[in-house]
Amino acid sequence: MRAVWIVDDDDEMSHAVKLMLQLLDSTVEIFRDARSAAKRLLAGDRPELIVLDINMPEVSGIDFLEFLRMRDDLKEIPVVMLSSETTDIQVDEAMRIGANAFVFKPVTLEELEEAIRIALPKP
């Protein structure tokens, strides 16, 4: 089983994505904001994948992604961006910063599975 973190302030969407990830053989932890996820990362915890919402209060998903990609100890963690209200500019920016894949809410199991396949390096 792979360890996946969901960073998303939307309770319903987080729960739905968690159920899908569990069907895809993952253990899942949910963080309601980027700051709490960052604290865990800085404490040394590392997931194999992060599913990250763009639109969150205080610290956006884009800002959190920049934080990950600027740190040598965190920059290799694969990230799947997830958002409902996105423009092509936001998608392009997320991919330029270093997102590994992008899916739109509401996401289907098949879309999530494909994004994970793209994001995770082959063994």
| Structural domains of the chain, count | 1
Query: What pLDDT, in 10s, does the model give residues 43-95?
Result: 999 999 999 999 999 999 999 999 999 999 999 999 999 988 777 888 899 99
* CATH code: domain of residue 114: 3.40.50.2300
Element (H, E) at 3: strand 2-7
User: Mapped to the 3 state alphabet, what secondary structure does 24-38 carry?
Assistant: CCEEEEEECCHHHHH
Cβ(27)–Cβ(33) under 8 Å? no
pTM exceeding 0.85: yes
Query: What pLDDT, in 10s, does the model give residues 15-31?
Result: 999 999 999 999 999 99
| Structural domain of 24 | 2-119
